[in-house]
Structure 1
Amino acid sequence: MVARGFARSDHELPTSTKRFPDGAQCRVEIPSVEGPDVLDAVLAEADARGVPLHRVSQGSGSLLLTDAELARMAATAAGRPVEVSLFARPLTGWGAASAASHAPGGRGLAAQARGTEQLVHVLEDIQRAVEAGIRSVLVTDLGVLETAASLRAAGEFPADLQFKISVQMGLSNPASIALAERLGADTYNVPTDMSLGELAAVRAAIDIPLDVYIESPDDMGGFVRHSEIADIVRVAAPVYLKFGLANHPGIYPSGTHLDPVTVALGRERVRRAQIGLERLRRTMPEAVMSEVPAVGLALPVGAGRAKA
C-alpha cells in the first residue's frame, strides 16, 4: 500500500533490538491448557500442524489438579520439552468473601491475593507446583511476586523458578511494568489491547520478554490481531506470541467435566497459531523464531527437586 501512496501510521515506531538468549525475536505460547489431557491434545496438534511450541500456560492452577495430574503434566512437558506455566491460586475472585470483586466497580480486585491467609495459600500453591517439578508460575499480585521472588533469592524456591506475570495484573504503562521487572518478574503479559506505540514504549523501558495476545478470549477483549503480528514482533521483541481464542465459552475454574470443550479449544488455539505464523512468514520472513527446545525456558524437572 505504501507504493500506492498510503503511509503507515506506525512507520516511526522503533524496531526493538532486544532478543531472547538464543538471539531470537519471538516464541509461541498456547494458553488455557487445562490439565494433562488438554496438554496431550495441544502437543499432538502442534506436531500435526508444524507449529513450534515453546510454552503452554494454564488458568486454573495446580490448585485444581490432583497430585497425579500435576505430576503427569510436569513429566509430559519435561519429556517434550516445553515450558508449563501454572496459575498461582487462590485469588480474591474465587474466595468466599468476594462480593466486591464481582461488582462492576470492583472487578480489578478479583486477581489480587486477599489478606495474609490468601497470600500464604498462594505461596503454598507455588511450593506444591515446584515440588512436582514445575518451574514456571503465573502471578497476578505484586505482593505475591515480591514475596515469592525473595524466597527464590533466599533459596526457599529454586533458582530456576520463573515468574510469568498474568495479563490480569493489569499494569499498563512503562513505569509500572518496570516495577514488576524490578520485583522479580521474568516475563510480562501486557493488557490485550495495547497499541503498537504503547508496546514500543514498554519495550524501551524493560528487558524481560513480553507476552502479547495475538488473539484474546472474549472476557479479555476478544481481539483478533493476526494482521499486526509482524509489527508486534518488530517493536516488542523478545515476545511470546500468545494465541488465545475469541468466541468461546467461559471455562474457569476448569476440570475434567469440561475436557471435551477444553480439548477442542486447545486444538483450535494451535490452528490459530498456524494461521498467525503463516502470516508472520509472509509479511516478515526475516523474523527469527526460537528453536525447540529454546535456551532460557523454565522447563519442568524431576519431581521432588524443590530446591536449586
Structure 2
Amino acid sequence: MEARTFLRSQGLPTGDAEAPPASPKRFPDGARYRVEIPSTEGPEVLDAVLAEAAERDVPVHRISQGSGAMLLTDDELTRMAGTAARNHVELSLFARPQAGWHTGAMSSSPTGGTVASQVRGTEQLVHVLEDIRRSAAAGVRSVLITDLGVLSVAARMRAQRELPADMRFKISVQMALSNPASIRIAEEFGADTYNVPTDLSPAQLAAIRAATDLPLDVYIESPDDLGGVVRHYEIAEIVRVAAPVYVKFGLRNAPNIYPSGTHLTDTAVRLGRERVRRARIGLDMLHRYLPEAETSELPVADLAVPTDVAGENR
C-alpha cells in the first residue's frame, strides 16, 4: 500500500496543505486561543508579569517556568501556587532534572543536544517523578515534561491516584516531536497539551491539528537557543489553522537564565515584563488580522489552576 494511502487509513493527514483550512476545534469554552508567558522564574517574576499584564490589558491564562520546581524553596513554591490560584492562572512548572543537567558528557557534545532533555537512568527517572510529586503536594496542577517515559509513568500514577486526578501534563518544546503521528503518540501516552517545535509552518501546524485534539502551544517569539523566531505577523494564521492554541511569547536577544535564582532575579523580572509587552504587540496584530478570534475570559473552568495549599492552611 502506498504510504499516503496507508496514512489515510490510519486517520492521519496525507500531506501538508498548501492552503491550510481553518481549524474547527476550540477550547471547551469556545475560545480559539489563550496566552502563555514562559520563563517566569520565581515568585517575584510572577508578580511582575501579572502586574505588567494588568497594566497592558494582556489576558494571561498560563504561566510556565523552566528552572524546575527542584530549584524553588518550599516557600517559593507555595507562594507561586498561591499567587496563580488567586489570579485564576494556570501555573506549569518544569519537571527536572534531565541529562543536560547531569554528569554525562554526551549532552554537551556537538551532536548530543538531542539527549539533553531526556531522563538518564532509573535514578534520574525517580528524581523527576519526585519533583512532580512535590509540585503536586504544593498545590501545582500542571508540569512540563520532556521525556516520553516520564510522561507514560506519570500518566499511570495519575490514573492510579498516586498523583491528583486533575494533574495536567504539558509537553515541553524540548520533546521535539514534529509530525502528526509522533504527536498523536504523546497524546496516547497522556499528554494534555503539546508545545510544538518553534519553526513549524502554518501548513505543518494544520496537519498536526488534523491528527490531534490536544491544545497546541506555539511560540510566537522564541529565545535564541530555540531558534529566535519572531512570528508576530503570522499570529493570525497560526490561530486560524491551529486552534485551540496557546500563543506563547518568549524573547529573542535575551540571556539564557536557566537555571535561575536570586542572583538573576532583577534580570528575570525585566525579561518577564518584556515578554508581556511582546504579547501586547502580538495580540494587537491578531485583533487586526483575525478580529473574530475569541479568547477565554478568566476564570476558566478547564485551566489547571493551582490549589492554594498555603491559603487553605492559614
Return the TM-score normalized by structure 1: 0.94
Superposed, 1:192-207 pairs within 5 Å as: 192-207=198-213
The whole-number CA distance in structure 2 between the counterparts of 1:41 and 1:187 is: 26
The whole-number CA distance in structure 1 between the counterparts of 2:282 and 2:18 is: 22
SS at 1:118 equivalent: helix
Give the letter for the 1:248 counterpart.
Answer: A
| 1:4 aligned residue | none
The whole-number CA distance in structure 2 between the counterparts of 1:293 and 1:27 is: 12
1:157 positional shift = 0.5
| 1:228 aligned residue | 234
SS at 1:146 equivalent: helix
1:11 positional shift = 6.8
The whole-number CA distance in structure 2 between the counterparts of 1:293 and 1:140 is: 28
1:302 positional shift = 3.1
Deviations 1:57-80 (A, max 9, x none): 000011000000000000000001
Deviations 1:195-248 (A, max 9, x none): 111000000000010000000000000000000000000000000000000000
The whole-number CA distance in structure 2 between the counterparts of 1:253 and 1:11 is: 41
The whole-number CA distance in structure 2 between the counterparts of 1:199 and 1:295 is: 26
SS at 2:309 equivalent: coil
1:11–1:175 distance in 2 versus 1, CA, 3 Å = closer
Residue in structure 2 matching 1:17, options 17, 20, 24: 24
Give yes or no for the alignment of 1:140 onto 2:138.
Answer: no
Superposed, 1:75-114 pairs within 5 Å as: 75-96=82-103, 98-114=104-120
Between the two proteins, the alignment pairs up a number of residues equal to 296
| 2:162 aligned residue | 156
1:12 positional shift = 2.0
Residue in structure 2 matching 1:31, options 38, 43, 58: 38
1:295 positional shift = 2.8
1:292 positional shift = 1.4
The whole-number CA distance in structure 1 between the counterparts of 2:308 and 2:245 is: 28
Residue in structure 2 matching 1:187, options 193, 201, 204: 193
Give the letter for the 1:55 counterpart.
Answer: R
Deviations 1:270-293 (A, max 9, x none): 000000000011111100111112
| 2:13 aligned residue | none
Give the letter for the 2:263 counterpart.
Answer: H
- RMSD in angstroms over aligned alpha carbons? 1.4
Give the letter for the 2:24 counterpart.
Answer: T
| 1:68 aligned residue | 75
Give the letter for the 2:179 counterpart.
Answer: N
| 1:56 aligned residue | 63
The whole-number CA distance in structure 2 between the counterparts of 1:12 and 1:189 is: 23
Give yes or no for the alignment of 1:254 onto 2:260.
Answer: yes
Residue in structure 2 matching 1:243, options 249, 252, 260: 249
| 2:130 aligned residue | 124
Give the letter for the 2:44 counterpart.
Answer: D
SS at 1:85 equivalent: strand
SS at 1:211 equivalent: strand
Deviations 1:170-192 (A, max 9, x none): 10010000000000000000000
The whole-number CA distance in structure 2 between the counterparts of 1:149 and 1:301 is: 20
Give the letter for the 1:259 counterpart.
Answer: T
Give yes or no for the alignment of 1:290 onto 2:296.
Answer: yes
| 1:44 aligned residue | 51
Give yes or no for the alignment of 1:272 onto 2:272.
Answer: no
The whole-number CA distance in structure 1 between the counterparts of 2:205 and 2:282 is: 19
Deviations 1:248-302 (A, max 9, x none): 0110111110011000000000000000000011111100111112231000003
The whole-number CA distance in structure 2 between the counterparts of 1:112 and 1:27 is: 28
The whole-number CA distance in structure 1 between the counterparts of 2:160 and 2:251 is: 39
Give the letter for the 1:166 counterpart.
Answer: S
| 1:168 aligned residue | 174
Residue in structure 1 matching 2:184, options 178, 181, 202: 178
Segments of 4+ moved more than 4 angstroms: none
